[in-house]
Amino acid sequence: MNEANKYRSGFTAILGRPNVGKSTLLNALVGEKIAIVSDKPQTTRRRVLGVMSMPQGQIVFLDTPGLTTARTKLGEYTQSAAYEALTGADAIVVVAAAGTVGPKDRDIIEKFSKRKLPKILVLNKTDVASREAIARDLQSFSIPPYDQYDAILPMSAKTGDGVETLRSLLFDRMPEGPHFFPDDMITDQPEYMLCAEIIREKALTHLREEVPHGVGVEIQRVEKVSVSLTEIHANIYVERAAHKGIVLGKQGRMLRSIGTEARLDIEKLLNTHISLQLWVKVREDWRNRADDLRTLGYVRERD
Ligand SMILES: Nc1nc2c(ncn2[C@@H]2O[C@H](COP(=O)(O)OP(=O)(O)OP(=O)(O)O)[C@@H](O)[C@H]2O)c(=O)[nH]1
Ligand SMILES: [Mg+2]
Give the tens place of pLDDT for each residue, 122-131: 999 999 999 9
Ligand with minimal distance to 18 CA: 1
Q: What is the pLDDT of residues 168-210, one digit of tens each?
A: 999 999 999 999 999 999 999 999 999 999 999 999 999 999 9
Q: For residue 302, is pLDDT > 80?
A: no
How many CB atoms are located within 10 Å of the residue 88 CB? 11
Q: How remote is the CA of residue 66 from the centroid of ligand 2, in Å?
A: 7
Number of residues that make up the chain: 303
Please report the sign of the dihedral spanned by the C-alpha atoms of residue 186, residue 263, residue 198, residue 73.
negative
Q: How far is residue 260 from each of residues 1, 183, 185, 203, 227, measured CA to CA in Å?
A: 53, 33, 28, 11, 21
3-171 and 191-295 share one fold: no
pLDDT at 34: 98
Residues 6+ apart with CB under 8 A from 44: 22, 23, 35, 36, 63, 64, 65, 66, 78
Indicate whether residue 75 lines ligand 1 (CB < 6 A).
no
Indicate whether residue 249 lines ligand 1 (CB < 6 A).
no
Those residues whose beta carbon sits under 5 angstroms from the ion ligand 2 are 22-23, 43-44
Indicate whether residue 39 lines ligand 1 (CB < 6 A).
yes
Give the residue among 44, 20, 34, 165 at the shortest CA–CA distance from 98. Answer: 20
Instruction: Classify domain 3-171 at the CATH superfamily level.
Output: P-loop containing nucleotide triphosphate hydrolases (3.40.50.300)
pLDDT at 300: 79
Query: Atom 16 in ligand 1: which residue has the minimum CA distance?
Result: 37
Q: Where are the domains of the chain?
A: 3-171, 191-295
The pLDDT of 161-170, averaged and rounded, is 98
Q: How remote is the CA of residue 20 from the centroid of ligand 2, in Å?
A: 8
Q: For residue 303, is pLDDT > 60?
A: no
Fold (topology level) of 191-295 = GMP Synthetase; Chain A, domain 3 (3.30.300)
What torsion, rounded to 10 degrees, do the Cα atoms 84, 77, 93, 202 define? 140
Give the ligand 1 atom nearest the CA of 63. Answer: 20
